[in-house]
Amino acid sequence: MAHEKTNLLTRSAIELAGLVRSGQISSRELVEQALQRIEANQDINAFTLVNAESALAAATAIKPGDTRPFAGVPIAIKELAHVAGERFTLGSDLTGDYISPFDDHFVRRLREAGFILLGRTNSPEFGIVPITEPRRFGPTRNPWNTSVTSGGSSGGAAAAVAAGILPLAHGSDGGGSIRIPAACCGLVGLKPSRGRISSGPSLGDSLLSTNGVITRSVADSAALLDVLAGYETGDATWAPPPEEPFAVTAARSPRRLRVAMTVASPLGTPVDPIHIQAVHDTAKLLTSLGHTVEEHMPEGMQTRDLFHAFNVVYAAGISASIEYAASLSGRAINAESVERLSWGFYEYNKSLTPAHYVAAVSRIQRQARLIISSFAPFDVLLTPSLGQRPLPIGTLDINKDWRSEFTKSGAFTPFTAIWNTTGQPAISLPLYHSADGLPIGVQFVGHPLAEGLLLSLATELEAALPWAERLARP
């Protein structure tokens, strides 16, 4: 069976868990191989922390017959989350080397499911931009082409999966931060509905952000949503549970769907022709599968006012993160303690009043109602995942004028943040590759709480255009 044990970590987490449960492989073998691949792929700089000893010890304790759904499978946690006993930095020098005393709820759920926590993956400072080039840890590079970005803010997570270090990795998404790196790295990236996964205990409700995973397969994304979703004690709001497990719905063929399609940037920025072509090719594929596709941009999508409101709420969240980081480390907040982009948002937020924030939230909610109402006649919406090709490392200079650089980042990713404002689920699928070998993702958006339908359609498309065998680094 030796030949069957090569490239184990490019298989699905579901398959690997089954092999560990049956005794065909051991968890320790998986962790050892993951550690070897980290060493062999240091050039991509995916990890900020590797817990080799504790991961090997935890893996050794996993025995055949363990009934937990993912017993013995290695996973990594993004730098922005709390993991008990580990350094917590938010990707910033400001936080110092603070050690977290607790797990975020989703981390506890991953442990309970049997995952082995291998370490932490790289993220931009405070998760702000759609690239991963923090001052503290340096740039994460795309395993398909190390001269370009792996995306952000879950860029380390996506790079680790694309490089075959892990079968899947934790990510979070406040404006596209799961879907963007998934598109850059040829992976599946699902942003769940607002309230589907608890943000506790460190955070309360978030209007924009949610946790999730980046995977190779749709089945893994569905199974992990079943693990992570659900109410936690003290949550102020939460999504109601699905009628059946997401994994069950994902495995069922979807009914014939009415699909809206648009390639127009919500920001009015140019869209690379290769992404436009990918959407049109996907529309043809959907039609061949029996679905109906119509060009339609939901009313309210293309408005600068919505993105101004987004920036007000976003700046408040970043400022809160900066204050939180300083409270943990005891360090002073100043222009030197954080990156210039972070400082720009912090200063911008200080120029606003509480009334500005309340007005921005109200604007987002009004606009979301308009968008979702216009969306109603359709089952899903098809768009590009990105507006541009993965950016060369260094394209966004976060030490220059923060406003212009953040505007440039919006042109790169104009299709993602809007669904954080509406709270709808959205998924990026790696359906295509360009002639130069870089992946090309397309995005599907569902009705609120309709992750099941998105996953079912994604499974159908995965069967029609399989991507699992495409490997950045065999």
Residues annotated as part of the active site:
78, 153, 177
Q: What are 393's two structure tokens?
A: 């490392």
> Who contacts 345 (Cβ-Cβ below 8 Å, separation ≥6)?
128, 314, 315, 318, 319, 402
Residue 433, beta-bridge partner list? 439
Q: What are 390's two structure tokens?
A: 């993965």
Q: What are 171's two structure tokens?
A: 């990510």
In degrees and rounded to multiples of 5, residue 380 shows phi and psi of -145, 165
Q: What's the rounded Cα separation, in Å, for the pair 262 and 296?
A: 6
Helix axis angle for 13-22 and 27-40, nearest 10°, is 140
Cα angle, residue 297 at apex, residues 356 and 217 outer, rounded to 5°: 95
Q: What percent helix, strand, coil does the chain show, rounded to 5?
A: 40, 15, 45
> Who contacts 306 (Cβ-Cβ below 8 Å, separation ≥6)?
266, 300, 363, 364, 367, 418, 421
